[in-house]
C-alpha cells in the first residue's frame, strides 16, 4: 500500500511539473529595415496625396454645383445680366479649375461669396495636406534616427551610412520643405509677454470739432513695362477677339502644392492679319481656301496668393505645334523668356507673349474634298522661376505635355522662320 501511494505521489509531481513548464516564446519580430521604413513612408505619402486629390475634387464640385444653383435662381428672377456673369464664370472655372485674383468679381454678391468660400476651402484643404505631410515626415525622421542608432551600435557602418543618406534626402525634399513653410505660416504668432503697466489717471478730453475731409481715392492701377513687355492690372488688358481659355495641368501632385502660393491662367488668341482667305464658286461647288501665316499669341495672368513674386523673376513659355494633316509630330517651336516685375500678395498682372507664327494651308470644297498642310498651335508649358532660377510654379496644356515638364529652366529659343512643314 505504501509503495502504491509513493508511486501516485511521484506521478502527481511529474504532472504538475509538466503543467508548469512555460510554453515556448514566439520569436521576436524582426526590426524593420531601411527598405521597410521607406516603403511604409512612400505608401503613406501616396495615400495622403490621393485623399488630397479626392478632397479637392469634392470642393471644386461643390463650387460648380453652387454656380448651377445660382444660375437657376437668377434665371427664375429674370436677371439676364447676372445670369451671363455666372454663366461665364462657370465656363471659365470648368476650364481652369481654380479662381485666380483676376477672376474675382464684385457683383453679383452671391457669386463673390461663392468664390471666397471656394478659395477658403481650397486653402484649408491645402493646409491640412501640408500638416499631414509634415506629420508623416516627422514620424519617418524619428524612425530613421532610431534605426541609425541601432545600426551604429551593431557597428554596421554601411547600413548607418545608407540611413544617413536617406535622412538627407528627406530633409532636402522640396515638397516637404514647402509643406513646412505652409504649416509654419498658418500657426498663429505667440503673443509676447509684456510688463504690467499702471495706466495714468484719465484726463477728460476737450471737445474737438470734426474735420470734413474728402474721401481718399485709392491709387490707380498702372501698366508696368519690363523690357519689351507690358504687364497689365485687372481690367486694363488690351482688347482681343476670340480669347480661348487654356486648361492648365500640373505635371505631378507634388508640384500642385505651388498653387497655395501662386496661380496662373492662360489664354490664346489668333492674329489672322497674314492669313489669306478666298471663297469662290466653280460650277456648282463652293471652294474655301486659307493660306498664309497664323500667329498664336499667349496671354498669361500671374497672381501672387501667399508669397510675393520677386522682381526679376522669369516667366518661361514653351510653345508646341503639331502637323495639321496628321495631328501628330508634336514639336517645340519656341521658348520665350519674359522678366516680371514684383507682384505682391493679392495682386495679379497680365502679360501678352509674342507667341508663334505658323504657316497653314486649308482647302475645302462642297464636293467633300478637303486638303490641309502646315502646322498649327498645339499647347504650352508655362513656368515661373525666381531670380535665382528656382522653380516657383509650372503648368502645361494639354495634359499630354506633362511628360515634357522637366522642372528646369528651358533655354531661350527663337522660332525658325515659318515654313510649310
Give the DSSP letter string of 68-135.
HHHHHHHHHHT-HHHHHHHHHHHHHHHHHSS--GGG--SSSHHHHHHHHHHHHHHHHHHHHHHHHHHH
Give yes or no: residues 266 and 389 share one domain.
Answer: yes
Region of poorest pLDDT, from 188-197, 240-249, 290-299, 302-311: 188-197
Is residue 16, in this structure, part of any structural domain at all?
A: no
Residue 26 has pLDDT above 80, yes or no: no
**286 is written with which cell numbers?**
463652293
Give yes or no: residues 160 and 244 share one domain.
Answer: no
Is residue 215, in this structure, part of any structural domain at all?
A: no
Region of poorest pLDDT, from 47-51, 194-198, 252-256, 343-347: 194-198
Cβ 247 vs Cβ 397: under 8 Å: yes
d(CA 190, CA 198): 24
**276 is written with which cell numbers?**
489669306
Give yes or no: residues 181 and 243 share one domain.
Answer: no
Tens of pLDDT, residues 39-75: 999 899 889 888 888 888 898 899 999 999 998 998 9
DSSP state of 249: B
Is residue 205, in this structure, part of any structural domain at all?
A: no
What is the per-residue pLDDT for 7?
Answer: 52
Give yes or no: residues 228 and 372 share one domain.
Answer: yes
Give yes or no: residues 178 and 228 share one domain.
Answer: no
Peptide bond into 347 cis (omega under 30): no
% of the chain exceeding 90 in pLDDT:
36
Is residue 319, in this structure, part of any structural domain at all?
A: yes
What is the per-residue pLDDT for 100?
Answer: 75
Tens of pLDDT, residues 217-232: 444 568 999 999 999 9
Give yes or no: residues 169 and 275 share one domain.
Answer: no
% of the chain exceeding 70 in pLDDT:
83
Give yes or no: residues 399 and 285 share one domain.
Answer: yes
Put simply, whether the predicted model's pTM sits higher than 0.75 gets the answer no
Total structural domains within the chain: 2
Structure confidence at residue 5 as a pLDDT band (50, 70, 90) = very low
Is residue 360, in this structure, part of any structural domain at all?
A: yes
Is residue 92, in this structure, part of any structural domain at all?
A: yes
Domain of 93 in residue numbering reads as 34-185
Amino acid at each position: 500500500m505504501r509503495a502504491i501511494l509513493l508511486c501516485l505521489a511521484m506521478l502527481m509531481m511529474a504532472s504538475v511539473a509538466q503543467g508548469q513548464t512555460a510554453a515556448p516564446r514566439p520569436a521576436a519580430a524582426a526590426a524593420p529595415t531601411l527598405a521597410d521604413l521607406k516603403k511604409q513612408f512612400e505608401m503613406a505619402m501616396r495615400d495622403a496625396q490621393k485623399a488630397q486629390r479626392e478632397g479637392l475634387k469634392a470642393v471644386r464640385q461643390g463650387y460648380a454645383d453652387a454656380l448651377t444653383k445660382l444660375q437657376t435662381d437668377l434665371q427664375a428672377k429674370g436677371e439676364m445680366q447676372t445670369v451671363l456673369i455666372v454663366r461665364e464664370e462657370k465656363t471659365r472655372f470648368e476650364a481652369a479649375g481654380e479662381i485666380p485674383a483676376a477672376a474675382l468679381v464684385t457683383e453679383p454678391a452671391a457669386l463673390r461669396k461663392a468664390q471666397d468660400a471656394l478659395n477658403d476651402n481650397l486653402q484649408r484643404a491645402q493646409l491640412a495636406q501640408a500638416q499631414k505631410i509634415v506629420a508623416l515626415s516627422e514620424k519617418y525622421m524619428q524612425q530613421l534616427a532610431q534605426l541609425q542608432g541601432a545600426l551604429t551600435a551593431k557597428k554596421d557602418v554601411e547600413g548607418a551610412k545608407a540611413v544617413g543618406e536617406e535622412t538627407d534626402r528627406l530633409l532636402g525634399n522640396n515638397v516637404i520643405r514647402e509643406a513646412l513653410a505652409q504649416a509654419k505660416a498658418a500657426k498663429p504668432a505667440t503673443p509676447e509677454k509684456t510688463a504690467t503697466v499702471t495706466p495714468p489717471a484719465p484726463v477728460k478730453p476737450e471737445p474737438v470739432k470734426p474735420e470734413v475731409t474728402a474721401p481718399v481715392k485709392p491709387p490707380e492701377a498702372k501698366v508696368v513695362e519690363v523690357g519689351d513687355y507690358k504687364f497689365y492690372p485687372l481690367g486694363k488688358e488690351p482688347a482681343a477677339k476670340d480669347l480661348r481659355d487654356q486648361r492648365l495641368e500640373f505635371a505631378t501632385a507634388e508640384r500642385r502644392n505651388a498653387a497655395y502660393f501662386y496661380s496662373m491662367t492662360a489664354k490664346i488668341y489668333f492674329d489672322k492679319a497674314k492669313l489669306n482667305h478666298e471663297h469662290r464658286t466653280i460650277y456648282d461647288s463652293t471652294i474655301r481656301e486659307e493660306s498664309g501665316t497664323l500667329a498664336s499669341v499667349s496671354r498669361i495672368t500671374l497672381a501672387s496668393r501667399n508669397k510675393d513674386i520677386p522682381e526679376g523673376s522669369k516667366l518661361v513659355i514653351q510653345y508646341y505645334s503639331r502637323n495639321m494633316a496628321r495631328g501628330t509630330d508634336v514639336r517645340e517651336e519656341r521658348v520665350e523668356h519674359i522678366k516680371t516685375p514684383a507682384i505682391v500678395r493679392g495682386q495679379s498682372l497680365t502679360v501678352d507673349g509674342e507667341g508663334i507664327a505658323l504657316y497653314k494651308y486649308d482647302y475645302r470644297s462642297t464636293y467633300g474634298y478637303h486638303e490641309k498642310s502646315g502646322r498649327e498651335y498645339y499647347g504650352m508649358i508655362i513656368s515661373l522661376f525666381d531670380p535665382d532660377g528656382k522653380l516657383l510654379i509650372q503648368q502645361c496644356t494639354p495634359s499630354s505635355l506633362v511628360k515634357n515638364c522637366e522642372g528646369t529652366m528651358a533655354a531661350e529659343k527663337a522660332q525658325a522662320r515659318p515654313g510649310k512643314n
